[in-house]
Structure 1
């Protein structure tokens, strides 16, 4: 019965969201909308445990969005970077963020959280901007972007430690945050060397 209620609420939320005139094509915004609709449907049906807490769902969407972007940019660095250290950093981004993305995907599915299918439009624009850089300019621009992205991601995870309610999502944050801090320090070190 509990599974049937979850499925019914999710289906209803997706139907309401799809009929709601959502103008955005942004995958992260769509995932946020689905999660909000699921939460609203569950609350109106009087089934509070069928939907994740709003902060938990928002954190998961934002973390997935950033993680997917880091994988795409890491792949780009592997093919476009001229400095072997930048290529190596790009490989580390692909490896570490792919692993975290898979863990988050499994966790989100168990918590009835919809994640974006692709990075946000802003992250897609960043990738396009980096793709258009000449080989000579790419390495420096990529590493600057990695510093900026990882500063934001570390803050997202630190805020998540305070605001997320679900114990499993908190455990994911606690496990992943040290890796993200290492990425930030390495990107800052590479930036100084450029």
Structure 2
């Protein structure tokens, strides 16, 4: 599917989609980005409520704040470009949340840290791929990577 006439607004400027760039891929990436942010905000709140260690609670606060800010940007970008804007995390993310919600104390802290390491490793791969794709969303993805990498390091430090 060609991206004829498709324009995305990125960081205040309009960028035309390169030839051959699939609008469906852009929509898929943005849907996953928004679902991921919704999930991370929820996980951050859960960590602040159920976390046993101060580090888990602080990481939860960082997740809630950083992904909350990113969520607003992602929703605005999707909305401006006529893309769907999900209102809740995907089923897999909800299942992980529900599993963690049933844990407490040290068991919660360990499972939460492991889930956040896996989640952020996957997110980083998706964002790196999008950043390198030369798509209209590449700048958006590139700007997000440092925060995701910081979160991965924080999650890994909780696992130790």
Answer whether TM exceeds 0.5 for this pair. Answer: yes
Alignment of 1:26-37 (within 5 A): none
Structure 2 residue 143 is the aligned partner of structure 1 residue 175: yes
Which runs of no fewer than 5 residues in structure 2 stay unpaired?
8-21
Give, in angstroms, the shift of residue 50 of structure 1.
5.5
Could you list the structure 1 runs, at least 4 aligned residues long, displaced by more than 6 angstroms after superposition: none
> How many angstroms apart in 2 are the aligned matches of 1:184 and 1:53?
29
Matched residue of 2:82: which SS?
A: coil
Give, in angstroms, the shift of residue 72 of structure 1.
0.4
Specify which of 95, 103, 122 is matched with residue 152 of structure 1.
122
RMSD of aligned alpha carbons: 1.8
Give, in angstroms, the shift of residue 152 of structure 1.
0.5
Q: Tell me the equivalent position of 2:5.
A: 49
Give, in angstroms, the shift of residue 137 of structure 1.
0.7
Matched residue of 1:49: which SS?
A: coil
Structure with greater Cα Rg: 1
Cα displacement string for residues 111-158 of structure 1 (whole angstroms, at most 9, x for unaligned residues): 111121100111111111001113231011101100000000001101
Q: Tell me the equivalent position of 1:80.
A: 50
Q: How many residues align?
A: 146
> How many angstroms apart in 2 are the aligned matches of 1:89 and 1:68?
16
Q: Tell me the equivalent position of 1:95.
A: 65
> How many angstroms apart in 2 are the aligned matches of 1:140 and 1:149?
14
Give, in angstroms, the shift of residue 163 of structure 1.
2.8
TM-score (norm 1): 0.70
The structure richer in helix per residue is 1
Give, in angstroms, the shift of residue 162 of structure 1.
2.5
Give, in angstroms, the shift of residue 178 of structure 1.
0.7
Give, in angstroms, the shift of residue 58 of structure 1.
0.9
> How many angstroms apart in 2 are the aligned matches of 1:133 and 1:49?
50
| Contact 2:128 2:142 (C-alpha < 8 Å) held by counterparts | no
Give, in angstroms, the shift of residue 48 of structure 1.
3.5
TM-score (norm 2): 0.85
Which runs of no fewer than 5 residues in structure 1 stay unpaired?
1-38
Q: Tell me the equivalent position of 1:104.
A: 74
> How many angstroms apart in 2 are the aligned matches of 1:161 and 1:138?
33
